[in-house]
Amino acid sequence: MKKVTLIPGDGIGPEISESVKEIIKAAGADIDWDIQTAGAQVAEKEGSPLPQRVIESIKKNKVALKAPVTTPIGKGFRSVNVALRKELDLYANIRPCKNINGIKTPFDGVDLVVVRENTEDLYAGIERQIDKDSAESIKIITRKASMRIAKYAFEYALKHGRKTVHAVTKANICKLSDGLFLECTRETAKNYPQIDYKEILVDNLCMQLVQNPQKFDVLVLPNLYGDIVSDLTAGLIGGLGVAQGANIGTDCAVFEPVHGSAPDIKGQNKANPTALLICAVNMLKYIGEEEAAQKIEKALYTVIEQGSVLTCDLGGNATTEEFTKVIIKNL
């Protein structure tokens, strides 16, 4: 039996985690869940939204499935998600984005991957109030982190038969920080002559993504642009309810969807568990539970393609529980 850390998160997190656990169990995967809570409620009880026990559990198990955790907006504690990525040095955030049969969107043929640097940039959380009317945030870009993510992006492209890597920056404005990122992607590109290397400014990328997304393959970006662009690319394939992601480090991997805790639909049995389920499928493949992973994948995509039982975000009216049941039936 394989031990995997599960962070059920908050908001819709516990609902979709429950759904995914049920499906994995029904698919026959041998998982011993090490359930680790984190977030605001935990902070009230334990003094920190990300207690050390969570970090230790992932370090020990080497793999985790993580549902979203709410971050207070404009105040309060630092993001648990950002802290976790930093603590475990999960330096690569991989967010593949491909059309799913049965989900109608304005574009066909979208098949791209966002490779987001996951440990620095504005997410270093270095901010200060200068006076009551001004504040500053420091954007940190280092050669070490930029070289590492650039190498990851090119290696990913090679391994997955991808042809092009676009480096995405705003180096016309942030000449030093994004300039350094670009210097690193350029240098790395020289080692991968088989991959077509291109550069694009992030504003132009956003425009082109909503006009002609098919022309993009692998995108490598600093943290903030990667965060924003991956929500945009999620929109291209049907929304956050279906957008998968993974945080990869040298020692461990944390599989987590792109979406947040969706407080607007919390507790309403409406959330789409698909994104977390695809993350779980990837997690199962990662730990060698290939058979269960394939069974789940097949059942999930069959249900979506049939289109009669879908959650609200995909235009249906099924509850999370009904959607879960029909996937289990299809296993």
Binders of ligand NAI among residues 30 to 69 (CB under 6 A) are 68-69
259 binding ligand NAI? (CB under 6 A): yes
- Asked whether position 81 contacts ligand NAI by CB under 6 A, the answer is yes
Nearest to 304 by CA among 259, 217, 237: 237
Report how many residues bind ligand NAI under the rule CB under 6 A.
20
Binding mask 4-23 for ligand NAI (x = CB under 6 A): --------x-----------
Using rule CB under 6 A, residue 95 touches ligand NAI: no
Torsion sign, CA atoms 212, 215, 217, 220: negative
Radius of gyration for the alpha carbons in the chain, expressed in angstroms and rounded: 20
Query: From residue 264 to residue 303, what is the string marking binding to ligand NAI with x (rule CB under 6 A)?
Result: xx-----xx--x----------------------------
Based on the shown chain and the rule CB under 6 A, indicate whether residue 256 belongs to the binding site for ligand NAI: yes
Classify strands 2-7 and 63-66 as parallel, antiparallel or unpaired.
Answer: parallel
Between residues 169 and 311, which has the closer beta carbon with respect to ligand NAI? 311
Which range touches ligand NAI (CB under 6 A), out of 28-36, 40-48, 52-60, 254-262?
254-262
Residue 90 binding ligand NAI, by CB under 6 A:
no
CB of 233 to ligand NAI, least distance (A): 14
Strand order in the sheet with 218-221: 31-35, 2-7, 63-66, 253-255, 246-248, 92-98, 111-117, 218-221, 164-169, 196-201
In the complex with ligand NAI, the residue whose CB is nearer, 1 or 73, is 73
Closest contact distance (angstroms) between CB of 11 and ligand NAI is: 6
* Interacting residues toward ligand NAI by CB under 6 A: 12, 68-71, 81, 240-241, 256, 259-265, 271-272, 275, 313
